Amino acid sequence: MNRYSKGARSERELLNTLYGKGYSVIRSAGSGVNSLSPDLLAIKDGKGIAFECKAWDRDSLALEKEQLEALIEWQRNTKMDTYVAWRMNIHGWFFIKPEEMRSNARTYTVTKKEAMAISRGLESITL
C-alpha cells in the first residue's frame, strides 16, 4: 500500500471515530499536499480540535519544520487544541502536542518510546 493510501485510510478511520463520538468532522482539502491547515477538524459543543495525522510505522516520527511551525501558528490563531495524531500499527493512535516534539536542524521529531510515555489517547482529549 502506498504512503498516500495508508495516510488517507488512517485519516478516514480517525474521522469516523470522532464522528461516532458525536463530533462534526472536516477533512481538509489538499491534506498532505500543503501545510496550510491540519488534516482534520473536529467540532462539538462549540469546541474544536485540530489533527495533523500521520500513519508511520517506524521508531520515530519527523515533521518538516515548516509543517510543524504552520501547525503551531494554526493553534495560536484559532485557539483550538491541536495535535499530531500518530497511528502506529498494533498500538493505535497517540496524540502529541506540537510543543512536545523536539527540534533538530531540519525537522521536529518524537520517538515511539516518547509518544508511548506521553500516553495520550483519544478519550483523554475529546468531550
Walk me through the domains of the chain, giving residue ranges and CATH numbers: 3-124 (3.40.1350.10)
The answer on pLDDT for 33 being more than 80 is no
Confidence tier at 64 by pLDDT (50, 70, 90): very high
Phi, psi angle pair for 33, to nearest 5°: -105, -40
* CA-based torsion, 67, 73, 76, 80: positive or negative: negative
**Statement: the pTM of the whole predicted model exceeds 0.85:** yes
Q: For the stretch 13-41, what's the b/e string if a residue is b when 16 or more beta carbons lie within 10 angstroms of its beta carbon? A: ebbeebeeeebebbbbeebeeebebbbbb
Identify the pLDDT of residue 29.
64
Chain segment 73-116, per-residue pLDDT in tens: 999 999 999 999 999 999 999 999 999 999 999 999 999 999 99
Average pLDDT over residues 40-45: 97
The answer on pLDDT for 49 being more than 80 is yes
Identify the pLDDT of residue 6.
75
- Write down the mean pLDDT value for the chain: 92
* Among 92, 112, 91, 109, residue whose Cα is nearest residue 100: 109
